[in-house]
């Protein structure tokens, strides 16, 4: 389905919210999103062990808000990718991902969407690590862990972005299609945020950052645990190897060698835009 050509990015916005035990947050968050983006379509992908979060969404009874409940904790990244696929099917031209716990201020959504469009970006990261950014109420241990994870990811992967792990991001439709078709293979949790960066950067998609204010959650429980951290470390190694493979493929294509990828996803943004013809109008 194609969005009408006249729609502005905020009018054709789709928002994906991954949830794990967020019954106390999700309803308020959806109202807060719709207060600033009344035409947005919202997809919640919930992996909670009970139905409280799903029921909190259903109780809102809003036509453009849907919730998918999955049977096990499939990971934040896989939930986002599933939500992105649904939003693409709904015809959204601009997509945004954000957490359910109000760490990502919904009031910044219109500015993010506008900035992504004005700068011609395929991915705009709301970043906690720019000079004007702010992190509120995080304990020192959490700050140190997050900062060092980001420095490590940047050192290994080299995508010129300061914040690899904040899941408050805007995507163009072509970028979202690449994410749907290529990501979620190097881990299912928070590491998918880095996998997305590498898959888009390796294909010359346009990536930028803008400052944000990140606020520690005040309701609900953290889902971060040791297993998640271990999975992220393994995922980082896999993504590094993926990045080398993508670079090799690009080089082979550049040198005119026959394309060994068969029906694999496009190796550059240009190729992606040429192939993804269903939304030529907005590209
Ligand atoms: N669907 C789904 N969502 C998840 C999963 N793990 C976390 N989330 C959601 O992803 C978002 C980010 O997770 P958080 O637990 O807030 O992670 P964090 O911000 O690093 O840490 P805290 O805010 O301290 O909990 C929240 O909306 C969570 O509910 C998961 O396995 N599946
Ligand atoms: Mg959080």
Domains and CATH numbers, the chain: 13-282 (3.90.550.10)
Which of 125, 124, 110 has its CA nearest to residue 13?
110
Q: Whole-angstrom Cα distance, residue 176 to residue 94?
A: 9
33 alpha carbon to ligand 1 midpoint, in Å? 18
pTM for this prediction: 0.90
6 alpha carbon to ligand 2 midpoint, in Å? 35
Q: Whole-angstrom Cα distance, residue 269 to residue 111?
A: 25
Q: What is the pLDDT of residue 282?
A: 47
Which of 169, 206, 159 has its CA nearest to residue 190?
169
Which residues are near ligand 2, the ion (C-beta closer than 5 Å)? 99, 101, 103, 217
The better pLDDT of the pair 159, 228 is held by 159
Pocket test for ligand 1, best of 32, 56, 101 (most atoms within 8 A of CB): 101
Pocket test for ligand 1, best of 99, 144, 163 (most atoms within 8 A of CB): 99
CA quadruple 70, 123, 129, 24: dihedral, nearest 10: -30
Q: What is the pLDDT of residue 108?
A: 98
Q: What is the pLDDT of residue 280?
A: 47
Measured in degrees and rounded to the nearest 5, phi and psi for residue 125 equal -95, 125
Q: What is the pLDDT of residue 188?
A: 87
Q: Hunting for tokens 């035990």 — which residue is that? A: 21
Q: How confident is the model at residue 220 (pLDDT cuts 50, 70, 90)?
A: confident
Q: Whole-angstrom Cα distance, residue 11 to residue 92?
A: 9
Q: What is the pLDDT of residue 259?
A: 54
Summarised one tens digit per residue, pLDDT across range 268-279 is: 888 777 766 544
Q: What is the pLDDT of residue 23?
A: 97
| Angle between helix 192-202 and 76-89 (nearest 10) | 50
Question: If you average pLDDT over residues 214-227, what whole number do you get?
Answer: 83
**Bridge partners of 15?**
42, 96
The better pLDDT of the pair 145, 56 is held by 56
Residue nearest to atom 24 of ligand 1 (CA): 222
């Amino acid at each position: 389905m194609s969005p009408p050509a006249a729609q502005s990015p905020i009018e054709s916005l789709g928002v994906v919210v991954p949830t794990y035990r967020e019954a106390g947050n999700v309803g308020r968050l959806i109202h807060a999103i719709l207060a600033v983006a009344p035409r947005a379509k919202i997809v919640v992908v919930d992996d909670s062990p009970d139905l409280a979060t799903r029921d909190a969404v259903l109780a809102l009874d809003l036509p453009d808000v849907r919730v998918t409940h999955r049977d096990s904790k499939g990971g934040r990244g896989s939930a986002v990718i599933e939500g992105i696929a649904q939003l693409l099917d709904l015809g959204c031209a601009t997509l945004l991902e954000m957490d359910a716990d109000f760490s990502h201020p919904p009031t910044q959504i219109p500015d993010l969407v506008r900035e992504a469009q004005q700068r011609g970006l395929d991915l705009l990261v709301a970043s906690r690590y720019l000079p004007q950014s702010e992190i509120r109420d995080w304990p020192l241990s959490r700050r140190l862990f997050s900062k060092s994870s980001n420095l490590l990811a940047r050192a290994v992967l080299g995508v010129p972005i300061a914040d690899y792990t904040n899941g408050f991001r805007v995507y163009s439709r072509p970028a979202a299609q690449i994410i749907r078709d290529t990501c979620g293979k190097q881990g299912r949790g928070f590491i998918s945020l880095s996998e997305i960066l590498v898959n888009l950067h390796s294909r010359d998609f346009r990536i930028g950052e803008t400052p944000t204010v990140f606020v520690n959650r005040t309701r609900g429980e953290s889902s971060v645990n040791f297993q998640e951290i271990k999975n992220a470390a393994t995922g980082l190694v896999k993504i590094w190897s993926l990045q080398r493979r993508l670079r090799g493929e690009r080089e082979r294509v550049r040198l005119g060698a026959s394309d060994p990828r068969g029906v694999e996803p496009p190796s550059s943004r240009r190729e992606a835009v040429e192939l993804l013809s269903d939304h030529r109008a907005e590209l």
